[in-house]
Structure 1
């Protein structure tokens, strides 16, 4: 084989996956048809869970200074994210172009082979591997696995005939980043007569506007709309003339909602927008795509290293397809709130009233932040099981650390919180894949799940695979399930 994995697409999902694979020592080639990054930034900022994921890999300092906020929204109805248990808030001012720059730098430093100007044209896959065809090359690129991270119009998805059911777009919205105009901020999904508008200030004097005219069907476009078209609609809906603004870039998008029925076909897998498309409400699409890759990366690496059976890859579909399904569910609901007219006003009012109840607000805040995600890890009474590890500070000998820092290497972690050498001895056979850490918790509040927990097994993606007391599986069974047989 020329390489172990070919990743098609050098967007956030493809770059994150390549980085995860390289952390585990897996060779990877990333094919990107564009010669250079476009500089466009459809996604802005990170959800709380993505902030945690980047902290787990030590990436947050690479983004420099940025603004965070403990306020979010569901379909334009404000949400207090401060009700959630996290050491991070949502990032609001990081354009996707910067995210791609950071991830490409990190991935390249780790040794990924990123090949720009290389367009995927087809693949032949069998039980042994894949032969990937690239435009202009007579010889295919051979690998053991292919992962399509090539966006909503994925050529990998089409080439393999993945079923992609869902609903077509019913309306068209326009997005433009502009300079030379000063606009008052408008909340997400602000309703005006005839449509919806949004305006937000970005770094470097850039203003982002989104505008959608109600009742106008989407067009089939082969190139971005002219800025004059966007300015005309903006003036019709707001009365403001922005025609003299300098457009940085312009795009059109719709509210189509589709998801593949299978994230894996043998040696070919999909991640990110290649697997699911939807209205980009709250920036959840890019964030979910990044988290797809973090879920897949360590599993694919474990199979390629021979530590785990190929059946571990089936858990990627089992876990992330359900996350994608819920994503489409909540973005379609938000679409009705954002794009609807006066008829949905009462619904917005009722939701605003319901969000006044802490449990309801916490549920919706966790939903849009990615903190409600739970995986099936064997069952049990411990409430941490399957969820992401909540923030935990530890004293390990004379050193202080956090649960996030312990995940920097992309390995599993067994946390012994009560000083139990017998427990660590039982996991010794997996120490080539799992770090065995004894530490004393420092920031645990009485009554929290962590206060009653003696030991925790973390997967490389930060989700709790086992905890004591309260897991139905014993520790060796959990280690074997997620990390393969003992050496």
Structure 2
């Protein structure tokens, strides 16, 4: 593997751990937590001395909220949403007040806000995932704080102010050069953003499409907010959004990528952009927090894994933030990779398990890139794009169109291509309430696999007894699905209905045992 400049003469083993995660954003924190639950020793190296306060994602999708739920973090996320709605409710009078009380979160496509009143909430895909409705509006800074507390409770150290300068994969470990001195680690995971140092040092390509727009996101004091429309508005110069939080503004200008995205975003820069796209002389008097600048650069790593070096989150894929897919895509990476790499460290991983990380996450990453590219085509200010926007808006104003888009944005239709004919196989496990009043997810806070046994004589649980250190069997009253094997990332690996044959030599039992061997290794 590629070796950078720093020589490895002597290696200081002060940070000798199974896995080093580079990047203390939501993806790195979530991944480190999963690794710790799997029994791996893990550390996080972060370039920034303090948590990044820049404005980024404002919400999470269903799979991300369910990932928090699976680890017992749902109450904290629900608290964040309640507090956010209290702030939003004071903005723009009764309209925002109604939105703050609205339990259904829809989102938007290219600035076309989806009307929750049009959505068929009885659709089976949506109805199966409602337990986390109260924890969807979780902005990224609050999510990072929540996850920082989670990894702290698990004993994961976060070393701030340290940059990685070199790496060498020896085949048995990864040697690191850092600004704190040489280190060594069993595995290295780059969760260090779109300009990933880990990806660059590993020599992993990053093909994709170049940017054509500059976007800004800021919270500002506005002297004359009445000059701006509430919500999204378009013009030949671009688009902007005012709200939903007081003073929050987003601008989009199709002027190509800025020369230096790392330069601090100034009040004058945001005001000038907002004036251009709104066609007003609106005046901003102050910025709150760190405003951000972004583009529609869309790229995907040529490989998510190269030897003992792996990538997750923006280090593996970048795109515009439209639809809020980036943070959620990275969270899915972390949940998928965490238990698999943990299994490798623990020594029980079936052959090829780690390779399934790239196999399973790459197609979803490619879809998200195209989903965001499509929105850029609708957002442009030219006449053809404006005409297309009218057509798309018309489609999204129908019940079928709004329901389709909400299902895609919320993530409830995500599926991994796994063997098995049952419709739940490869999908995220639905909300399942048990006869004792608990939910299935309540039994998985410590990680590991979950086996739900609802057969009349509890015939399935004994089949998983040999995997007792990896599989938590939960018996419940007779019902359907009668059996469900859920991986630690929430994906259903095997499922069967109540009308199946559960004799010892039946196809249902053979299917369960095959899934256990495939995913949980040798008992």
Query: So what's the TM-score if we normalise by structure 1?
Result: 0.90
Cα distance in 2 for partners of 1:147, 1:25 equals: 17
Alignment of 1:56-205 (within 5 A): 56-63=70-77, 64-66=79-81, 67=85, 69-79=104-114, 80=116, 82=121, 83=123, 84-85=126-127, 86-87=129-130, 88-89=132-133, 93-137=137-181, 140-179=182-221, 183=225, 189-202=232-245
Paired residues in the alignment total 468
Query: Do the aligned partners of residues 195 and 432 (structure 1) sit closer, same or farther apart at CA in structure 2, a change above 3 Å counting?
Result: same
- Of 4, 8, 16, the match for 2:30: 16
Partner residue in 1 for 2:337: 296
Is the 8 Å Cα contact of residues 299 and 317 (structure 2) preserved in structure 1? yes
Partner residue in 1 for 2:315: 274
Is the 8 Å Cα contact of residues 222 and 283 (structure 2) preserved in structure 1? no
Query: Do the aligned partners of residues 155 and 216 (structure 1) sit closer, same or farther apart at CA in structure 2, a change above 3 Å counting?
Result: closer
Cα distance in 2 for partners of 1:368, 1:352 equals: 16
Does the residue aligned with 1:401 lie in a helix, a strand or coil?
coil
Q: Deviations over 1:362-409 (max 9, x none)?
A: 3322221112211122131x11110011111111xxx32112212211
Does the residue aligned with 1:94 lie in a helix, a strand or coil?
coil
- Of 282, 294, 300, the match for 1:253: 294
Partner residue in 1 for 2:10: none
Is the 8 Å Cα contact of residues 47 and 91 (structure 1) preserved in structure 2? no
Does the residue aligned with 1:292 lie in a helix, a strand or coil?
helix
Partner residue in 2 for 1:375: 416
Structure 1 window deviating more from structure 2 (78-87 vs 304-313): it is 78-87
Is the 8 Å Cα contact of residues 5 and 147 (structure 1) preserved in structure 2? yes
Does the residue aligned with 2:45 lie in a helix, a strand or coil?
strand
CA RMSD of aligned residues (A): 2.3
Q: Deviations over 1:68-88 (max 9, x none)?
A: 543222222333464522213
Partner residue in 2 for 1:38: 52
- Of 372, 388, 394, the match for 1:347: 388
Partner residue in 2 for 1:415: 452
Partner residue in 1 for 2:352: 311
Alpha-carbon deviation of 1:338?
A: 2.4
Partner residue in 2 for 1:384: 424
Matched, 1:478 2:521: no
Alpha-carbon deviation of 1:356?
A: 5.2
Cα distance in 1 for partners of 2:187, 2:384 equals: 49
Alpha-carbon deviation of 1:37?
A: 1.0
Structure in which a larger fraction of residues adopt strand: 1
Query: Do the aligned partners of residues 215 and 153 (structure 1) sit closer, same or farther apart at CA in structure 2, a change above 3 Å counting?
Result: closer
Is the 8 Å Cα contact of residues 190 and 338 (structure 1) preserved in structure 2? no
Is the 8 Å Cα contact of residues 21 and 27 (structure 1) preserved in structure 2? yes
Q: Deviations over 1:327-380 (max 9, x none)?
A: 101011112222343322332333333335555443322221112211122131
Does the residue aligned with 1:245 lie in a helix, a strand or coil?
strand
Alpha-carbon deviation of 1:214?
A: 3.6
Cα distance in 2 for partners of 1:374, 1:216 equals: 35
Does the residue aligned with 1:258 lie in a helix, a strand or coil?
strand
Query: So what's the TM-score if we normalise by structure 2?
Result: 0.84
Alpha-carbon deviation of 1:175?
A: 1.7
Structure 1 window deviating more from structure 2 (310-319 vs 215-224): it is 215-224
